Structure 1
Amino acid sequence: MIRYFNRRTKNYNIEKVAGDAYLKWIYSSPLGMKFLEIIVKKKIFSKLYGLFCSTKYSKRKIRSFIDDFNIDMSECAIDYNDFNCFNDFFSRSLKKNARPINMNKKILISPVDGRLTAYEHINLNKIVQIKGFTYSLCDLINNNKTPVKFNNGTCLIFRLCPTDYHRFHFIDWGKCESYKKIKGDYYSVNPISLENISNVFCKNKREWSIFHSNNFGDVIYVEIGATCVGSIIQTYCPKKDISKGAEKGYFKFGGSTVILFFEKNKITVDKDIIEQTKKGYETRVLMGEKIGIQYEN
């Protein structure tokens, strides 16, 4: 059972997990773990399922997925009947007013819909994956030089589950460098997986780039694929002027993760998010909503 904090109601909600019984078997049983290592984590498994989700035959899954997970289609830019396949539905765009963006230059917004955990004053060699497991930023981005100035900074981890809006956006005005791809496996990023597999983020397929934010300093963006994520699609133009809230890219089918790294003394994360992280809970956030402010002495 996965509980997360709902900022609006101040209550804890239980997350309805797609393939819950399957995930528990795969990541919690000896036979399931063998199946995971031999087949599930492999690129071919996710690629084949991703290809199926791009065919017209996958369209029949859309209506039942909407009903099972109570997805609000009034936010969607087009009617569900107009999608050609499940991947089109999964990477759907929303209406312009569906995600209001706080345009105050001192306000830090969420780049995605998802469940957020936040860590301040991070040790670059011991970043928290989940209680008991840590990883290194150098290993995460496969780069030994870039991370130094992010020591003692802030790390924000956004977990997107399959029911979420799966496009990711920029948190500020600025310019973004070209992205770099890192090949890897396709483990789930669900908490069930994070509690049983060490260094998941450093093992999975991922892409990263440096965003030169006008108001929050340099920010490392890391997009991480997971089981059944066919692709990470970047849609932005590198080294061009970017507006706050502009789309950076999107994921095809599957749960996914976006991680942001900030330099020291650049942002102050909202207290409720920090408090819930310390208690061991993720906080549900929507793209464009306030999650912090510009750091002030």
Structure 2
Amino acid sequence: MDIKFINRATKELVTERPPGEDILRFLYGNPVGEALVLPIAKQKFISDWYGKKMDSPSSVSRIEPFVRSLNIDMSESEKQIDEFTSFNDFFYRKLKPGARKIEDGLVSPGDGKILVFKKVSEVNSFFVKGERFTLGEFLEDEKLAEEYQDAAMVILRLAPNDYHRYHFPYQGIPSVCHEIGKDYYSVSPISLEKKFTKVFTKNKREICRLKTAGKGDMLIIPVGATMVGSLNSTFTPESPIEKGEEMGYFAFGGSTIVLLFDANSFELDSDLVENTQNQFETAVRMGEKIASE
């Protein structure tokens, strides 16, 4: 089946063609690929090995074809194609100052495709097929899961062609990140359709608690994926940050950021809720409002 999402600006349904689509369908939709190859592909050493290849100077030759094939807008980038020292240097490129407007309310922490749920329990009702998703497994902490059992949940999926730095969606004081998980399943819709629960309960991820003024504590959880060897935080824990300030970046590959927050403190935008209930992601950009205060 085709992967489709909603273009928020035009409200049009768009077909997505992820890089390596045939390989992903073999790994996540073919019994042979799933049984024999996927157990190896999800291991850390594969992502580490490929990450080192993308750090090598010779990998710069991959940049221009990648930009051209995925139609990436380089006018927003601080550096241009001939200034990068490796593919990863390009992949987690910074944007020019002012390239993104930071809007009112709760904003998207990055560029990507978003799903939103007024309550965590809705994930199973509207999206997950087969195995049930549980917050306790995702957080690997039953006490923390109980604290957020009635929270709203946002899942932002970054495709390989997206800007791969992520930012704070609201102002506050962030904690030190707590690392959990060890696997590296793909976060492509192809894999999420088959392995949603495993992706979010097995993949390497970091939990950061953002203390806000009057809006409760928000959990910000970057999730690694196939070919993403590490999650790289760039903020100073326990120091005040402003909304839109950089939090970190992902190296090569698709990735995800999950938000959990008090459902009474923010009202999710109705178009995002409706699209999710219709089982469509919505394309958003970093700094774009996703919920009102």
What's the TM-score bracket when you normalise by the shorter of the two chains? over 0.9
1:125 touches 1:136 (CA, 8 Å); kept in 2?
A: no
Q: What CA distance in whole angstroms lies between the structure 2 residues aligned with 1:76 and 1:174?
A: 27
TM-score by length of 2: 0.95
Q: What CA distance in whole angstroms lies between the structure 2 residues aligned with 1:30 and 1:60?
A: 35
Q: Which residue of 2 aligns with 1:258?
A: 257
Q: What CA distance in whole angstroms lies between the structure 2 residues aligned with 1:240 and 1:18?
A: 38
Q: What CA distance in whole angstroms lies between the structure 1 residues aligned with 2:288 and 2:56?
A: 34
Aligned with 1:241: secondary structure? coil
Q: Which residue of 2 aligns with 1:138?
A: 136
1:133 touches 1:199 (CA, 8 Å); kept in 2?
A: no
1:113 touches 1:285 (CA, 8 Å); kept in 2?
A: yes
Structure 1 stretch displaced more, 29-38 or 183-192:
29-38
The alignment's C-alpha RMSD in Å is: 1.7
| Aligned with 2:153 (options 148, 152, 155) | 155
Map 1:82-231; keep pairs closer than 5 Å. Answer: 82-102=83-103, 104=104, 107-123=105-121, 130-197=128-195, 198-214=197-213, 216-231=215-230
Structure 1 portions without partners, runs of 5+: none
**How far did 1:215 drift?**
5.2
Structure 1 stretch displaced more, 135-144 or 8-17:
135-144
Q: Which residue of 1 aligns with 2:17?
A: 16
Q: Which has the higher strand share?
A: 1
2:126 touches 2:277 (CA, 8 Å); kept in 1?
A: no
Q: What CA distance in whole angstroms lies between the structure 2 residues aligned with 1:91 and 1:53?
A: 11
Whichever residue aligns with residue 90 of structure 1, its letter is F
Q: What CA distance in whole angstroms lies between the structure 2 residues aligned with 1:215 and 1:157?
A: 23
CA distance 1:237–1:129, shift in 2 (3 Å): farther
Whichever residue aligns with residue 154 of structure 1, its letter is A
Q: What CA distance in whole angstroms lies between the structure 2 residues aligned with 1:34 and 1:81?
A: 42
Structure 1 stretch displaced more, 144-153 or 110-119:
144-153
Deviation string 1:3-23 (CA, Å, 9 cap, x unpaired) is: 100111111111121111111
Deviation string 1:119-166 (CA, Å, 9 cap, x unpaired) is: 112239968763444322221121122232322220000000100001
1:75 touches 1:98 (CA, 8 Å); kept in 2?
A: yes
2:174 touches 2:211 (CA, 8 Å); kept in 1?
A: yes
Map 1:52-71; keep pairs closer than 5 Å. Answer: 52-71=53-72
Whichever residue aligns with residue 54 of structure 1, its letter is D
Deviation string 1:19-76 (CA, Å, 9 cap, x unpaired) is: 1111111111122112333421111111100110000111110000000000000000
CA distance 1:180–1:163, shift in 2 (3 Å): same
Q: What CA distance in whole angstroms lies between the structure 2 residues aligned with 1:265 and 1:121?
A: 11
Deviation string 1:223-280 (CA, Å, 9 cap, x unpaired) is: 1100000210001111101011000001000000000001231111110000000001
Q: Which has the higher helix share?
A: 2
1:113 touches 1:286 (CA, 8 Å); kept in 2?
A: yes
Structure 1 stretch displaced more, 145-154 or 92-101:
145-154
Q: What CA distance in whole angstroms lies between the structure 2 residues aligned with 1:165 and 1:183?
A: 24
Q: What CA distance in whole angstroms lies between the structure 2 residues aligned with 1:75 and 1:276?
A: 28
Aligned with 1:253: secondary structure? coil
CA distance 1:147–1:183, shift in 2 (3 Å): closer
Whichever residue aligns with residue 243 of structure 1, its letter is E
Whichever residue aligns with residue 219 of structure 2, its letter is I
Q: What CA distance in whole angstroms lies between the structure 1 residues aligned with 2:221 and 2:203?
A: 11
TM-score by length of 1: 0.94
Aligned with 2:225: secondary structure? coil
1:129 touches 1:135 (CA, 8 Å); kept in 2?
A: no
Report the identity percentage.
Answer: 39
1:151 touches 1:264 (CA, 8 Å); kept in 2?
A: no
2:117 touches 2:123 (CA, 8 Å); kept in 1?
A: no
